[in-house]
Structure 1
Amino acid sequence: MLLRFRVANHRSIRDEQTLSLVAVPRRGETTELDTVRVAGIYGANASGKSNVLSALMWMSDAIRSSHTQWEPVGGVPRQPFKLSDAGRAAASFFELDFLHKDARYSYGFEVDDTQILGEWLYTFPHGRKKKLFERSGAEEITFGRALTGENQRIRRLTRPNSLYLSAAASNNHPLLGALYADLINKVMFAQHGEEDEKLRLHLTKFLLNETDFAPALNKLLRLADLGVERAEVMERPNDPTPDDPTESAAVLRAVRAQVVLRRTSGGVPLSLEAESAGTRAWLSLLGHALITLRGDAVLVTDEIDSSLHPLLSSSLIRMFRDPVINKRGAQLIFASHDTTLLGSMLDNEIMARDEVWFTEKDDSGATSLYALAEFHPRRDENVERGYLQGRYGAVPYLNFDSIREVFRERDEATREPQA
């Protein structure tokens, strides 16, 4: 379970920004640490919404890949702020506060183009900060007494451009391997590019073959009122057999398998690729949601409203906010332009005040991230209307008279001169 994410010098995020999933206590409530189940990020086009999610994804990929896949002499494939010389020269910073087996941890690192500049891991027994390890520079690593295991041996195996946490997990460190598994396996990303859709549909194909998931997946598909009775996996007919005789039967079945949808009205089943983008988006996001909700995990998705009706995207959010459905504290982090999710037209409260975030760019092109809760909106305040009116910033400012003037000037320039 994530508590906070901090990042600096990644893409348009120049200065340190914080996304907090710690609930803001209401008036009269205690300040006991609790987390929100949903965090939605809003902002104008190109304001940096996607870059906040990209930063979390980059951190996850660095933890997963730095020791095993990054080239030993290839430096660090980071993406710093490039609109100033200072940004290109400065370090990039990433830090996560999270819970593992009800214990709080804080893990982070700093990198430049060539190496790891710093890396740290702390825990907080009884609320007091305790060092597990600290790294200063490429090779100097000190360990706290609470961190047992082959720490020194793993330190010697850690390259200048490899994270110690990544190296420790690859070498079967008991605690660090468990934390690594949480950060990698329990933070899932659902993107919306063409290749990402193929990955999402591959997951859907897997779930439809699992008796634990297929019934719920099909029931939720029917409830969406898309005219679909059920999805199932069928083998493609007349697929040519690959030339490679070493291919296993299981691999061949996976390659030949396709997802088809049977319509409520009957008839010939259609392949999922022939269905609408909205149907594909709903089915593929459902697969991610079911796995996330079952496994106390985190689902991160950009453009949650892409191809989806507002009632479907709001239903997905409500799944995570509903304590009956979300019994294990799973979390959903998303970016969106769908302002209906902010208002009360679809439901009394789709998102709470501390679940809404905004991004805005300044004149230098740097993104700032801030919370709706900072504005202390009234309980009965129409957040959707306030957002569209610019009350919280994070919206494009368009003067329609200026737009009309562009067309007037064009008409003047193309008007034929009178004889």
Structure 2
Amino acid sequence: MLLSFRFANHRSFRDEQHLNLTPAYRSAEHDQAVRVVGIFGANASGKSNCLHALGFMRRFVIFSDREVEPGLGVAREPYRMTADSLEAPSHYVVDLELNGIRHTYGYTVDNDGVLDEWLYHYPLRRKRRVFERNGDSFAWGDESGQRALLERIAEVTAPTALFLSTIARFDHRQAAPDRVEPEPLRDVYRWFQRMRNRSQPQLSGGYRSGWPDSDAGRRALVELLRAADVGIVDVVEVTSTVTDEQPLLFRLEDPSIGRGMRRNARNRVGQERKRLKFAHQGPAGEVQFELAEESTGTQQLLGLAIEAAEILGEGGTMCVDEIDASLHPLLTARLIALFRSTTSNPRGSQLIFTSHDAALLGTIDTEEILHRDEIWFTEKDADGASTLYPLTDFKPRKEGENRQRRYLNGNYGAVPDLSAYLFEQALAARGPVDDEAAD
């Protein structure tokens, strides 16, 4: 479970930002972190860049040991509006609760390589070092198991690679299912593996390896599509034989994975290819449609539902950019509710999303879609630098607050500064319209 995320000098964010998921208004009997966070703001204010920073941290943890190219340094994206920021380091830090124990992992990078890297954990609420890295120098905690193995892997860790991703590649030991001792290196790496960071789904056909194998999982997704009132009454798997080599259909790309890391999977000639068809009820019975024949909103809902079901079932953190794209606000609210419910989310999975939809700041049937400590905003200053801040910075009104209206009125900031005069001037600059030419 993600407790907080700190980062600096990434894309439009120049100064350090802190996304704090610690509940602000709940008692100690609740989770240590909120299960849902919504980030709102104007276009180009930094919402997507906040998720991109977390996605970059994940990608670097998983792939930095494989992306080592001598002399190329680190492919990072610092704040570009000042010359100093282009050379200044970037840093990324997560606080996690894993198996009931808090962990803090982070690293600092510049254009040439990794400057610092560290991992601490807090068994019995006391800080203990797992490892600290300063350039090529490493220091180990007193309880770091298999010191000799760690030292050997540290020796082969490249200057542009993280120790955490390097040890994950070289350490092939299997964790004991009934282990007693904590394994902070493995646990932190697995958290990054389970995290999903995505924007629009890239749907191109009717099959995906992530479609649930279990009958229960398939029924749950079909019921979600039925409840969404998109006209689908059933999903049917059909099998056909590939007659020519084709791209693997129904692929959901993970945009947090770099282009060089994506694999262009293909259906080979003679293979059996599974496809999904979507049944709709018509006056003469059921009619089956291909995925490409479904609406963009249905495709978006299906992609989100598949990944949400996976995260809810296994545990993890799911980041979605523009969650409301092509979805009705009620559907978005329903997806949010799945993560907030302890019944549908017994593993404490988390959803972090961005949105322009102010309706999500309101209520449905007198119930808040998002609590105050689940709402964050992004805004850019005159220098083009983004800032991330929570709704809890604003004191609630005694008589209650209409958050949707107050946000649109600019009470919380994070709205575009629109000028009707400039719009009118831009239209006037076109000159008179030639009616005859238009005809």
TM-score, normalised to structure 2, is: 0.85
Distance 1:47 1:367 in 2: 6
Q: CA deviation at 1:412?
A: 7.2
Deviates more, 1:121-130 or 1:167-176: 167-176
Give deviations 1:128-182, integer Å, cap 9, x for gaps: 2221111111x11111111112111111111111100111111227635522442
Q: What is the one-letter code of the residue matched to 1:145?
A: D
Alpha carbons of structure 1 residues 122 and 389: separation in structure 2 relative to 1, 3 Å:
same
Which of 193, 203, 209 aligns to 1:198? It is 203
Alignment-mate amino acid for residue 395 of structure 1: V
Query: Per the alignment, do residues 315 and 279 of structure 1 end up closer, same or farther by CA in structure 2, a change over 3 Å counting?
Result: same
Give the structure 2 partner of residue 44 of structure 1.
42
CA distance in 2, matches of 1:222, 1:45: 33
**2:284 is aligned with 1:264:** no
- Mapped partners of 1:377, 1:200: distance in 2: 48
Tell me, in whole angstroms, the C-alpha distance in 2 between the residues paired with 1:32 and 1:214.
31
- Give 1:187's aligned residue: 195
Worse overlay, 43-52 or 31-40: 31-40
3-state secondary structure, aligned to 2:401 = coil
Asked whether the 8 Å contact 2:207–2:274 carries over to 1, the reply is no
| Change beyond 3 A, Cα 1:198–1:356 | same
The residue correspondences of 1:220-299 to structure 2 (distance < 5 A) are 220-236=224-240, 239-242=242-245, 256-265=273-282, 266-299=285-318
Contact 2:25 2:373 in 1 (8 A): no
1-side partners of 2:275 and 2:185: how far apart? 35
1:287 is paired with a residue of what secondary structure?
Answer: helix
1:1-46 C-alpha deviation (Å, 9 max, x unpaired) = 10000111111111100111111135xx459872101000000000
Return the offset for 1:399. 2.7
Q: Which deviates the most, 169-178 or 89-98?
A: 169-178
Whether 1:122 and 2:142 are equivalent positions in the alignment is: no
Give the Cα separation in 2 of the matches to 1:112 and 1:187.
24
Listed as ranges, the matches of 1:52-91 within 5 Å are 52-91=50-89
User: In structure 1, what is the Cα distance between the partners aligned to 2:139 and 2:204?
Assistant: 40
Structure 1 residue 325 corresponds to structure 2 residue 324: no
Residue 394 of structure 1 is matched in structure 2 by: 414
State which drifts further: 142-151 or 276-285. 142-151
Q: 1:349 aligns with which of 364, 368, 388?
A: 368
Say which SS state the counterpart of residue 184 (structure 1) adopts: helix
Deviation at 1:297?
1.1
Mapping of 1:339-418 within 5 angstroms? Answer: 339-345=358-364, 347-378=366-397, 380-411=400-431
User: Could you list the runs of 5+ residues in structure 1 that have no partner in the other structure?
Assistant: 244-248
* In structure 2, distance between residues paired with 1:403 and 1:347: 38
Cα distance between partner residues in 1 of 2:346 and 2:339: 9
Q: Tell me if structure 2 keeps the 8 A contact 1:217–1:286.
A: yes
The letter for the 2-side match of 1:58 is: F
Kindly indicate whether the alpha-carbon contact (under 8 Å) linking 2:6 and 2:16 is maintained by their aligned counterparts in 1. Answer: yes
CA positional deviation for 1:211: 2.4
1:97-246 aligned at under 5 Å gives the runs 97-137=95-135, 139-149=136-146, 150-172=149-171, 175=183, 177-192=185-200, 196-198=201-203, 203=208, 206-236=210-240, 239-242=242-245
Is the Cα contact below 8 Å between 2:210 and 2:306 reproduced in 1? no
Which residue matches 2:354?
335
1:246 maps to none
Which residue pairs with 1:13 in the alignment?
A: 13
Q: Secondary structure at the match of 2:210?
A: helix
Distance 1:34 1:274 in 2: 43
* CA distance 1:361–1:18, change in 2 (3 Å): same
Residues 52-90 of structure 1 show CA distances to partners (whole Å, capped at 9, x for unaligned) of 000000100000001123324431111111111111010
For 1:97 and 1:272, how far apart are their aligned partners in 2? 40
Give me the whole-angstrom Cα distance separating, in 1, the residues matched to 2:223 and 2:29: 39
Measure, in 2, the Cα distance between the counterparts of 1:165 and 1:201: 37
Question: Partner amino acid for 2:138?
Answer: I
Amino acid at match of 2:51: L
Matched-pair contact (CA < 8 Å) for 1:302–1:335? yes
In 2, Cα distance between equivalents of 1:32 and 1:320: 14
Number of corresponding residues: 402
Unaligned 5+ segments in structure 2 are 176-182, 247-265
Change (3 A) 1:25 1:214: same
Q: 1:283 to 1:31 in 2, by over 3 A?
A: closer
- Sequence identity of aligned pairs in percent? 37
1:253-298 CA-partner distances (Å, limit 9, x unpaired): 8773322111122454111111100000111111111111111211
When structure 1 is superposed on structure 2, of 34-43 and 124-133 the one drifting more is: 124-133
Q: For each residue in 1:195-250, what CA deviation from the matched residue of structure 2 results, as whole angstroms up to 9, or x when unmatched?
A: x42399754x532443241111111111111111112322347x41449xxxxx99
* AA in 2 matched with 1:370: Y
Instruction: Supply the distance in 1 between the matched residues of 2:271 and 2:373 (Cα, whole angstroms).
Output: 43
Task: Tell me by how many angstroms 1:190 deviates.
Answer: 2.7
CA RMSD between the two structures: 2.6
